[in-house]
Amino acid sequence: MSNNKPRAIVLSVGTELTEGIILNSHLQYLSSCLNRLGFMVIRGIQIPDILGVFKAELGRAAEECSLIIVTGGLGPTSDDLTREAIAEAAGTELVFQQSIWEDLKKRYSGQKIAETNRKQAYIPQGFKILKNPVGSAPGFYGRINKSLIIALPGPPGELEAMYTSGVERLIENLFSLTVEQVLTGTAMLIPESRLEEELQKCPGRSVTWGTRVTDDRIAFYLRGGSEEERKAVFSCLQESFGSLYIRRGDVEPAQLLSRALRSQGLKIALAESCTGGLLGKWLTDLPGSSDIFWGGVTAYSIQAKIDLLGIDNRLVAEYGAVSSETAAAMTEAILKHCQADVGLAVTGIAGPGGGTAQKPVGTVWISFKWGDRKPLCRLFQFHGSRDQIRRKTAVAAFLLAESELKG
């Protein structure tokens, strides 16, 4: 790695991080983004909500790098110390910003806004505001000595939305960087080891790659070489795994289904069993999901399938709750109960118990029905932990539905 690259440090703030209560996903995401811009991330640090520790790490970082990104600590409570720590490290005061306060009041329109929220309207003097498109806490940026410092909120959804909507462009504008050309892709339902193995086989010796693993996909980045070489490596992956599982760009499986539904003006309804509402959760994570998602039923037990969906108990008794017959009945039933155009159902055995020789743990049936057409049912056999099986089921369901909608 070249020592000529500008250096960056990521400081993640929160006692819940240092005590292991929640997982810190910020460093992986930001390091990947900054690396693509040409930075060398020399350190990622988790800091408790202790002002003295925070200030010491800020001062140290300002001496070692040209870019510091601080995540977290921008809420309205007493243990949110990012504003105070940065102001003291910069040798300045916190200044109330009326524009932030007005935005906060609009966000709480119709509700009483707590006086403690006024804290979020203060930023260090001389620093500039970074608007938060999805949350209440705005960020800000400025300088400590020669280092640019950018403060972003802690929730990953807010942080990533702010980074993509303006922070990346800000960094590009403030630093003279030679940004390496990158081809971004997404791999779904493919183990990281298998993806790595195929990447090593593909042509393009001067092309390098990196990956970022998330709950529902692997984002990968092809760097270096010519544009033709990067495209050749991408085409090689599609030939190996299929274009259903290898996509251009960093895309969520839920986004793929949402786009397919929007393109035809359709709404979907869900009947979930083993996934326990995960499909609905991932769909409603997308802004504007009410345009394409009617709603769903989590019919987890056999009795719930009978009582909530109206499935014939004789069918379940004969074929079992995990069967093509039950999955098909679930899609038929959910469409009878709602005004959606498309039905999608999943039923399976997520484990660790409940499997049999005939239906081992990981056995999943997914059913899709569009309008008056006969339900399409597909059998899957997934491996891994309970959580992995549930996530793979949700991804497979989205891909199956998308592929059917696109013909």
Question: What is the overall mean pLDDT for the chain?
Answer: 93
* pTM: predicted TM-score of the whole model, two decimal places: 0.73
- What is the reported pLDDT for 268? 98
SS (H, E, C) the chain: CCCCCCEEEEEEECHHHHCCCCCCCHHHHHHHHHHHHCCEEEEEEEECCCHHHHHHHHHHHHHHCCEEEEECCCCCCCCCCHHHHHHHHHCCCEEECHHHHHHHHHHCCCCCCCHHHHHHHEEECCCEEECCCCCCCCEEEEEECCEEEEEECCCHHHHHHHHHHHHHHHHHHHCCCCCCCEEEEEECCCCHHHHHHHHHHCCCCCCEEEEEECCCCEEEEEECCCHHHHHHHHHHHHHHHCCCCEEECCCCHHHHHHHHHHHCCCCEEEEECCCCCHHHHHHHCCCCHHHCEEEEEECCCHHHHHHHHCCCHHHHHHHCCCCHHHHHHHHHHHHHCCCCCEEEEEEECCCCCCCCCCCCCCEEEEEEEECCCCCEEEEEECCCCHHHHHHHHHHHHHHHHHHHHCC
pLDDT interval class at 328 (50, 70, 90) = very high
pLDDT interval class at 3 (50, 70, 90) = low
Tens-place pLDDT, residues 292-313? 999 999 999 999 999 999 999 9
- What is the reported pLDDT for 308? 94
- What is the reported pLDDT for 178? 62
| pLDDT over 50 (residue 404) | yes
Mean pLDDT confidence for 343-368: 96
- What is the reported pLDDT for 180? 66
Q: Can you tell me which residue has the tokens 């990196």?
A: 210
- What is the reported pLDDT for 179? 60
Spell out the domains of the chain, with CATH numbers in brackets: 7-174 (3.40.980.10), 182-248 (3.30.70), 253-405 (3.90.950.20)
- What is the reported pLDDT for 1? 39
CB neighbour class for 82 (10 Å; exposed up to 12, middle 13-18, buried from 19): buried
Tens-place pLDDT, residues 46-98? 999 999 999 999 999 999 999 999 999 999 998 999 999 999 999 999 999 99
Mean pLDDT confidence for 364-378: 96
Measured in Å, how far apart are the chain's first and last C-alpha atoms?
46
Tens-place pLDDT, residues 237-262? 999 999 999 999 999 999 999 999 99
Tens-place pLDDT, residues 96-124? 999 999 988 888 777 888 888 899 999 99
Q: Is 124 within 8 Å of 86 (Cβ atoms)?
A: yes
